[in-house]
Protein backbone atom coordinates (compact mmCIF):
# COMPACT_ATOMS: atom_id res chain seq x y z
CA UNK A 1 0.00 0.00 0.00
CA UNK A 2 1.15 3.53 -0.75
CA UNK A 3 2.35 5.75 2.08
CA UNK A 4 2.30 9.52 1.85
CA UNK A 5 5.33 11.77 2.26
CA UNK A 6 3.57 14.83 3.63
CA UNK A 7 6.55 16.89 4.83
CA UNK A 8 10.29 17.06 4.18
CA UNK A 9 13.23 18.72 5.88
CA UNK A 10 16.71 18.43 4.41
CA UNK A 11 20.23 19.76 4.09
CA UNK A 12 23.30 18.82 2.06
CA UNK A 13 26.11 20.48 0.11
CA UNK A 14 23.43 22.15 -2.06
CA UNK A 15 22.19 24.15 0.94
CA UNK A 16 19.90 24.04 3.95
CA UNK A 17 16.14 23.74 3.49
CA UNK A 18 13.90 22.79 0.58
CA UNK A 19 14.03 26.13 -1.22
CA UNK A 20 17.84 26.43 -1.19
CA UNK A 21 18.38 22.79 -2.12
CA UNK A 22 15.83 22.86 -4.94
CA UNK A 23 17.25 26.06 -6.42
CA UNK A 24 20.79 24.64 -6.57
CA UNK A 25 19.71 21.13 -7.56
CA UNK A 26 17.76 22.05 -10.68
CA UNK A 27 20.41 24.58 -11.72
CA UNK A 28 23.11 21.91 -11.48
CA UNK A 29 25.05 24.13 -9.05
CA UNK A 30 28.07 22.13 -7.86
CA UNK A 31 29.68 25.02 -5.97
CA UNK A 32 29.09 23.23 -2.67
CA UNK A 33 31.66 20.61 -3.64
CA UNK A 34 34.96 22.02 -2.39
CA UNK A 35 38.52 20.83 -1.90
CA UNK A 36 39.49 20.50 1.76
CA UNK A 37 42.54 19.25 3.60
CA UNK A 38 42.69 17.65 7.02
CA UNK A 39 40.44 14.67 6.44
CA UNK A 40 43.14 12.33 5.10
CA UNK A 41 46.83 12.89 5.85
CA UNK A 42 48.80 14.51 3.01
CA UNK A 43 45.77 14.66 0.71
CA UNK A 44 43.37 17.38 -0.33
CA UNK A 45 39.96 15.93 -1.19
CA UNK A 46 36.77 17.35 -2.66
CA UNK A 47 33.94 16.90 -0.16
CA UNK A 48 30.31 17.95 0.06
CA UNK A 49 29.93 19.78 3.39
CA UNK A 50 26.65 21.36 4.51
CA UNK A 51 27.14 25.15 4.31
CA UNK A 52 26.35 27.63 7.06
CA UNK A 53 25.82 27.25 10.78
CA UNK A 54 23.79 24.46 12.34
CA UNK A 55 21.38 24.76 15.30
CA UNK A 56 22.60 24.36 18.83
CA UNK A 57 21.64 21.01 20.30
CA UNK A 58 19.30 20.91 23.30
CA UNK A 59 20.70 19.65 26.57
CA UNK A 60 19.28 16.13 26.68
CA UNK A 61 20.64 13.62 29.21
CA UNK A 62 22.44 10.75 27.50
CA UNK A 63 22.87 12.64 24.23
CA UNK A 64 26.36 14.13 24.02
CA UNK A 65 26.79 16.54 21.10
CA UNK A 66 27.56 15.41 17.56
CA UNK A 67 27.45 17.06 14.15
CA UNK A 68 25.29 14.17 12.99
CA UNK A 69 22.58 15.16 15.45
CA UNK A 70 22.94 18.82 14.46
CA UNK A 71 22.29 17.94 10.81
CA UNK A 72 19.28 15.88 11.86
CA UNK A 73 17.95 18.63 14.12
CA UNK A 74 18.25 21.19 11.31
CA UNK A 75 16.13 18.96 9.07
CA UNK A 76 13.59 18.35 11.84
CA UNK A 77 13.26 22.04 12.66
CA UNK A 78 12.26 22.74 9.06
CA UNK A 79 9.15 20.59 9.53
CA UNK A 80 8.65 21.00 13.27
CA UNK A 81 5.15 22.45 12.83
CA UNK A 82 4.03 19.41 10.82
CA UNK A 83 5.64 17.06 13.35
CA UNK A 84 3.97 18.76 16.32
CA UNK A 85 0.63 18.62 14.52
CA UNK A 86 1.07 14.88 13.98
CA UNK A 87 1.89 14.38 17.65
CA UNK A 88 -1.26 16.26 18.63
CA UNK A 89 -3.35 14.23 16.19
CA UNK A 90 -2.00 10.72 16.76
CA UNK A 91 -0.28 10.80 20.15
CA UNK A 92 3.38 10.44 21.05
CA UNK A 93 3.11 6.65 21.32
CA UNK A 94 1.79 6.29 17.76
CA UNK A 95 4.71 7.99 16.00
CA UNK A 96 7.80 6.01 15.08
CA UNK A 97 11.32 7.10 14.14
CA UNK A 98 13.30 5.08 11.57
CA UNK A 99 16.58 6.51 10.29
CA UNK A 100 19.52 5.34 8.23
CA UNK A 101 23.08 6.26 9.20
CA UNK A 102 26.62 4.96 8.97
CA UNK A 103 28.61 7.49 10.99
CA UNK A 104 26.42 8.52 13.94
CA UNK A 105 28.82 10.31 16.33
CA UNK A 106 31.94 8.41 15.29
CA UNK A 107 33.84 11.58 14.31
CA UNK A 108 33.50 13.07 17.81
CA UNK A 109 34.21 9.71 19.46
CA UNK A 110 37.34 9.33 17.33
CA UNK A 111 38.58 12.72 18.51
CA UNK A 112 38.07 11.60 22.11
CA UNK A 113 39.94 8.35 21.53
CA UNK A 114 42.79 10.30 19.89
CA UNK A 115 42.94 12.44 23.04
CA UNK A 116 43.13 9.27 25.13
CA UNK A 117 46.00 7.91 23.05
CA UNK A 118 47.89 11.20 23.23
CA UNK A 119 47.11 12.26 26.80
CA UNK A 120 46.23 9.03 28.59
CA UNK A 121 42.65 9.99 29.49
CA UNK A 122 39.33 10.41 27.76
CA UNK A 123 37.85 13.93 27.75
CA UNK A 124 35.23 14.59 30.42
CA UNK A 125 32.53 15.07 27.79
CA UNK A 126 33.08 11.67 26.15
CA UNK A 127 30.25 9.15 26.38
CA UNK A 128 30.02 5.84 24.53
CA UNK A 129 26.41 6.62 23.53
CA UNK A 130 27.77 9.27 21.18
CA UNK A 131 29.00 6.64 18.73
CA UNK A 132 26.11 4.18 18.90
CA UNK A 133 24.39 3.73 15.54
CA UNK A 134 20.97 4.17 17.18
CA UNK A 135 21.97 7.58 18.59
CA UNK A 136 20.24 9.75 15.92
CA UNK A 137 16.87 8.00 16.30
CA UNK A 138 17.11 8.08 20.10
CA UNK A 139 18.00 11.77 20.03
CA UNK A 140 15.06 12.67 17.78
CA UNK A 141 12.60 10.62 19.85
CA UNK A 142 13.76 12.13 23.13
CA UNK A 143 13.78 15.70 21.77
CA UNK A 144 10.20 15.32 20.57
CA UNK A 145 9.00 13.25 23.53
CA UNK A 146 8.00 10.29 21.35
CA UNK A 147 7.44 6.79 22.71
CA UNK A 148 6.75 4.83 19.52
CA UNK A 149 9.23 2.45 17.88
CA UNK A 150 12.62 4.13 17.38
CA UNK A 151 15.65 2.65 15.64
CA UNK A 152 18.39 3.17 13.07
CA UNK A 153 19.27 1.02 10.09
CA UNK A 154 22.87 0.73 8.95
CA UNK A 155 23.22 -1.13 5.64
CA UNK A 156 25.93 1.18 4.28
CA UNK A 157 24.79 3.23 1.29
CA UNK A 158 21.23 1.86 1.22
CA UNK A 159 20.49 2.78 4.86
CA UNK A 160 18.36 5.87 4.18
CA UNK A 161 16.35 4.17 1.43
CA UNK A 162 15.77 1.09 3.57
CA UNK A 163 14.53 3.32 6.39
CA UNK A 164 11.72 4.54 4.11
CA UNK A 165 10.74 0.98 3.23
CA UNK A 166 10.77 0.00 6.91
CA UNK A 167 8.64 3.04 7.76
CA UNK A 168 6.09 2.06 5.12
CA UNK A 169 5.98 -1.45 6.56
CA UNK A 170 5.31 -0.15 10.08
CA UNK A 171 2.37 1.88 8.78
CA UNK A 172 0.95 -1.02 6.80
CA UNK A 173 1.19 -3.29 9.85
CA UNK A 174 -0.69 -0.75 11.96
CA UNK A 175 2.18 -0.43 14.44
CA UNK A 176 1.97 3.36 14.24
CA UNK A 177 0.11 6.17 12.48
CA UNK A 178 3.06 8.31 11.42
CA UNK A 179 6.80 7.79 10.96
CA UNK A 180 9.68 10.23 10.92
CA UNK A 181 11.99 8.53 8.48
CA UNK A 182 15.04 9.27 6.39
CA UNK A 183 18.79 9.34 6.78
CA UNK A 184 21.64 11.38 8.22
CA UNK A 185 25.42 11.19 7.95
CA UNK A 186 28.19 13.66 8.70
CA UNK A 187 31.68 13.94 7.28
CA UNK A 188 33.99 11.70 9.24
CA UNK A 189 37.75 11.09 9.14
CA UNK A 190 37.29 7.37 9.74
CA UNK A 191 35.02 7.09 6.69
CA UNK A 192 37.18 9.21 4.42
CA UNK A 193 40.33 7.34 5.39
CA UNK A 194 38.56 4.02 4.84
CA UNK A 195 37.45 4.89 1.32
CA UNK A 196 40.87 6.37 0.64
CA UNK A 197 42.48 3.08 1.69
CA UNK A 198 40.20 1.34 -0.83
CA UNK A 199 41.57 3.75 -3.47
CA UNK A 200 37.96 4.73 -4.20
CA UNK A 201 38.13 8.49 -3.50
CA UNK A 202 38.65 11.14 -6.15
CA UNK A 203 40.59 14.28 -5.28
CA UNK A 204 38.60 16.18 -7.93
CA UNK A 205 34.84 16.48 -8.25
CA UNK A 206 33.42 13.06 -9.13
CA UNK A 207 32.46 12.33 -12.74
CA UNK A 208 29.63 9.72 -12.81
CA UNK A 209 29.34 7.50 -15.90
CA UNK A 210 32.21 9.24 -17.67
CA UNK A 211 34.98 7.33 -19.43
CA UNK A 212 37.24 9.43 -17.17
CA UNK A 213 35.57 8.53 -13.86
CA UNK A 214 37.98 7.53 -11.13
CA UNK A 215 36.25 7.60 -7.78
CA UNK A 216 33.75 9.08 -5.36
CA UNK A 217 33.50 12.23 -3.27
CA UNK A 218 32.14 11.92 0.25
CA UNK A 219 29.42 14.29 1.43
CA UNK A 220 27.14 14.85 4.40
CA UNK A 221 23.51 15.72 4.90
CA UNK A 222 20.13 14.81 6.32
CA UNK A 223 16.71 14.16 4.81
CA UNK A 224 13.74 13.67 7.13
CA UNK A 225 10.23 12.81 5.90
CA UNK A 226 6.94 12.73 7.78
CA UNK A 227 5.21 9.64 6.42
CA UNK A 228 1.55 8.85 7.11
CA UNK A 229 -1.35 7.03 5.48
CA UNK A 230 -3.30 10.27 5.11
CA UNK A 231 -3.43 11.30 1.43
CA UNK A 232 -1.09 14.10 0.36
CA UNK A 233 0.35 15.10 -3.02
CA UNK A 234 3.41 12.81 -3.09
CA UNK A 235 3.45 9.15 -2.20
CA UNK A 236 5.98 6.41 -1.67
CA UNK A 237 4.36 3.93 -4.02
CA UNK A 238 6.64 1.11 -3.00
CA UNK A 239 10.13 -0.21 -3.31
CA UNK A 240 12.23 -3.22 -4.04
CA UNK A 241 15.11 -4.74 -2.10
CA UNK A 242 17.61 -7.44 -2.95
CA UNK A 243 20.90 -8.80 -1.68
CA UNK A 244 23.12 -10.53 -4.21
CA UNK A 245 26.01 -10.92 -1.70
CA UNK A 246 28.45 -11.05 -4.60
CA UNK A 247 31.41 -9.49 -2.79
CA UNK A 248 32.10 -7.56 0.39
CA UNK A 249 32.63 -4.32 -1.55
CA UNK A 250 32.48 -4.91 -5.32
CA UNK A 251 29.06 -5.05 -7.07
CA UNK A 252 27.88 -8.01 -9.12
CA UNK A 253 29.24 -7.05 -12.58
CA UNK A 254 26.02 -7.51 -14.58
CA UNK A 255 23.88 -5.79 -11.96
CA UNK A 256 21.67 -8.81 -11.30
CA UNK A 257 20.76 -7.63 -7.79
CA UNK A 258 20.18 -4.08 -8.99
CA UNK A 259 17.85 -5.34 -11.70
CA UNK A 260 15.94 -7.37 -9.11
CA UNK A 261 15.49 -4.33 -6.85
CA UNK A 262 14.21 -2.15 -9.71
CA UNK A 263 11.80 -4.83 -10.96
CA UNK A 264 10.49 -5.42 -7.43
CA UNK A 265 9.84 -1.70 -7.03
CA UNK A 266 7.92 -1.60 -10.32
CA UNK A 267 5.90 -4.62 -9.26
CA UNK A 268 5.15 -3.09 -5.85
CA UNK A 269 3.72 -0.01 -7.56
CA UNK A 270 2.00 -2.03 -10.30
CA UNK A 271 3.83 0.16 -12.81
CA UNK A 272 5.51 -0.71 -16.11
CA UNK A 273 9.06 0.45 -16.74
CA UNK A 274 7.79 2.60 -19.62
CA UNK A 275 5.75 4.66 -17.13
CA UNK A 276 8.79 5.89 -15.19
CA UNK A 277 9.44 9.56 -15.99
CA UNK A 278 12.84 9.85 -14.28
CA UNK A 279 15.41 7.64 -12.54
CA UNK A 280 17.84 8.99 -9.96
CA UNK A 281 20.90 6.83 -10.43
CA UNK A 282 23.11 5.64 -7.59
CA UNK A 283 25.99 6.80 -9.84
CA UNK A 284 28.98 6.93 -7.50
CA UNK A 285 31.59 7.49 -10.28
CA UNK A 286 33.58 4.39 -9.39
CA UNK A 287 34.57 2.20 -12.31
CA UNK A 288 32.70 -0.93 -11.28
CA UNK A 289 29.54 0.57 -9.74
CA UNK A 290 28.75 2.77 -12.72
CA UNK A 291 29.36 -0.07 -15.18
CA UNK A 292 27.08 -2.40 -13.20
CA UNK A 293 24.28 0.15 -12.87
CA UNK A 294 24.54 1.09 -16.54
CA UNK A 295 23.97 -2.53 -17.59
CA UNK A 296 21.16 -2.97 -15.06
CA UNK A 297 19.33 0.15 -16.27
CA UNK A 298 19.59 -1.01 -19.88
CA UNK A 299 18.11 -4.39 -18.91
CA UNK A 300 15.16 -2.92 -16.98
CA UNK A 301 14.57 0.07 -19.28
CA UNK A 302 15.37 -1.22 -22.79
CA UNK A 303 13.60 1.76 -24.36
CA UNK A 304 15.56 4.22 -22.20
CA UNK A 305 14.62 6.49 -19.31
CA UNK A 306 15.62 10.04 -18.36
CA UNK A 307 18.19 9.65 -15.60
CA UNK A 308 20.96 11.39 -13.68
CA UNK A 309 23.28 10.99 -10.74
CA UNK A 310 23.24 13.82 -8.21
CA UNK A 311 26.51 12.86 -6.49
CA UNK A 312 28.57 15.42 -8.40
CA UNK A 313 26.40 18.02 -6.62
CA UNK A 314 26.34 16.57 -3.10
CA UNK A 315 29.03 13.94 -2.79
CA UNK A 316 28.10 10.47 -1.65
CA UNK A 317 26.31 10.95 1.67
CA UNK A 318 26.50 7.22 2.51
CA UNK A 319 23.83 6.34 5.09
CA UNK A 320 21.83 9.44 4.14
CA UNK A 321 22.14 8.99 0.35
CA UNK A 322 19.05 6.85 -0.25
CA UNK A 323 16.80 9.24 1.68
CA UNK A 324 18.45 12.36 0.26
CA UNK A 325 18.03 11.20 -3.34
CA UNK A 326 14.43 10.21 -2.65
CA UNK A 327 14.07 13.78 -1.38
CA UNK A 328 15.35 15.04 -4.74
CA UNK A 329 12.57 13.04 -6.42
CA UNK A 330 10.10 14.58 -3.94
CA UNK A 331 11.37 18.06 -4.81
CA UNK A 332 11.06 17.29 -8.52
CA UNK A 333 7.33 16.63 -8.07
CA UNK A 334 6.72 19.48 -5.63
CA UNK A 335 5.87 23.17 -5.83
CA UNK A 336 9.50 23.85 -4.98
CA UNK A 337 10.11 23.03 -8.65
CA UNK A 338 7.65 25.37 -10.43
CA UNK A 339 9.32 24.95 -13.83
CA UNK A 340 9.12 21.13 -13.48
CA UNK A 341 12.82 20.66 -14.21
CA UNK A 342 14.67 17.38 -13.82
CA UNK A 343 17.86 17.11 -11.72
CA UNK A 344 20.66 17.45 -14.30
CA UNK A 345 23.59 15.09 -14.72
CA UNK A 346 26.81 17.05 -14.13
CA UNK A 347 29.86 15.46 -15.78
CA UNK A 348 32.44 16.04 -18.51
CA UNK A 349 30.20 14.63 -21.28
CA UNK A 350 32.68 11.91 -22.20
CA UNK A 351 30.62 8.72 -22.36
CA UNK A 352 32.28 5.37 -21.70
CA UNK A 353 32.38 3.61 -25.09
CA UNK A 354 32.42 0.23 -23.35
CA UNK A 355 28.93 0.78 -21.92
CA UNK A 356 25.44 1.27 -23.40
CA UNK A 357 24.37 4.90 -23.79
CA UNK A 358 22.17 6.33 -21.04
CA UNK A 359 19.62 9.12 -21.45
CA UNK A 360 21.47 11.44 -19.08
CA UNK A 361 19.56 14.63 -18.22
CA UNK A 362 20.97 17.93 -19.48
CA UNK A 363 20.52 21.12 -17.44
CA UNK A 364 17.15 22.70 -18.23
CA UNK A 365 15.39 19.46 -19.20
CA UNK A 366 11.78 19.39 -18.03
CA UNK A 367 9.71 16.63 -16.52
CA UNK A 368 7.26 15.01 -18.91
CA UNK A 369 3.63 16.13 -19.02
CA UNK A 370 2.30 12.64 -18.34
CA UNK A 371 -0.11 12.29 -15.43
CA UNK A 372 0.43 11.05 -12.82
CA UNK A 373 4.23 11.18 -12.89
CA UNK A 374 6.34 8.38 -11.45
CA UNK A 375 9.99 8.61 -10.37
CA UNK A 376 12.47 5.97 -9.23
CA UNK A 377 15.59 6.27 -7.08
CA UNK A 378 18.37 3.66 -6.87
CA UNK A 379 20.68 2.95 -3.93
CA UNK A 380 23.31 0.21 -3.92
CA UNK A 381 25.68 -0.75 -1.12
CA UNK A 382 28.59 -2.93 -0.05
CA UNK A 383 27.75 -6.59 0.25
CA UNK A 384 25.36 -6.50 -2.70
CA UNK A 385 22.63 -4.67 -0.77
CA UNK A 386 20.27 -3.01 -3.27
CA UNK A 387 17.20 -0.77 -2.90
CA UNK A 388 14.99 0.98 -5.45
CA UNK A 389 12.25 3.37 -4.33
CA UNK A 390 9.23 4.48 -6.33
CA UNK A 391 7.69 7.92 -5.71
CA UNK A 392 4.73 9.42 -7.50
CA UNK A 393 2.09 12.11 -7.64
CA UNK A 394 -1.33 11.52 -6.22
CA UNK A 395 -3.96 13.00 -8.58
CA UNK A 396 -6.37 15.49 -7.05
CA UNK A 397 -4.14 16.41 -4.12
CA UNK A 398 -2.78 19.96 -3.97
CA UNK A 399 0.71 20.52 -2.67
CA UNK A 400 0.71 22.87 0.30
CA UNK A 401 3.28 25.57 0.94
CA UNK A 402 4.85 28.20 -1.26
CA UNK A 403 8.34 29.11 -2.37
Q: Which of 206, 282, 307, 329 does the annotation list as catalytic?
A: 282
CB 228 within 8 A of CB 86: yes
CB 281 within 8 A of CB 309: yes
Q: Which of 152, 157, 206, 329 does the annotation list as catalytic?
A: 157
Q: Which of 63, 127, 316, 345 does the annotation list as catalytic?
A: 316
Give the 3-state DSSP-derived string for 208-235, with helices as H, strands as E and coil as C: CCECCCCCECEECEEEEEEEECCCCCEE
CB 79 within 8 A of CB 44: no
CB 311 within 8 A of CB 213: no
Active site residue 188: no
CB 258 within 8 A of CB 292: yes
Rounded to 10 degrees, what is the CA torsion of 131, 132, 133, 135? Answer: -90
Sign of the alpha-carbon torsion through 74, 79, 81, 85: negative
Sign of the alpha-carbon torsion through 115, 134, 245, 271: negative
Residue 153's beta-bridge partner residues? Answer: 100
Active site residue 247: no
CB 177 within 8 A of CB 124: no
Measured CA to CA, the distance from residue 382 to residue 385 in angstroms comes to 6
Measured CA to CA, the distance from residue 346 to residue 313 in angstroms comes to 8
CB 338 within 8 A of CB 403: yes
Catalytic residues, which ones?
157, 282, 316
Amino acid sequence: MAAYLSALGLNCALGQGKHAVATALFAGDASGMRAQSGWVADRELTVGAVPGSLPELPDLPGHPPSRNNQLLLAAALEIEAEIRAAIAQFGADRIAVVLGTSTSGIEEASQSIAAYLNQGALPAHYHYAQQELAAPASFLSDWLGLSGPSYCISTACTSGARALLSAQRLLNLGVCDAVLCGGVDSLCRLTLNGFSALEAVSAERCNPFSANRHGINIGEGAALFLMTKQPSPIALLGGGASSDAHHISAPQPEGIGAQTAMRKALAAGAIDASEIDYLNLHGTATTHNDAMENLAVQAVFPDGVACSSSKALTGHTLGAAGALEAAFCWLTLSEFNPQKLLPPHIWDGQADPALPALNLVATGTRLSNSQPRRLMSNSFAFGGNNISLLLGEEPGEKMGGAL
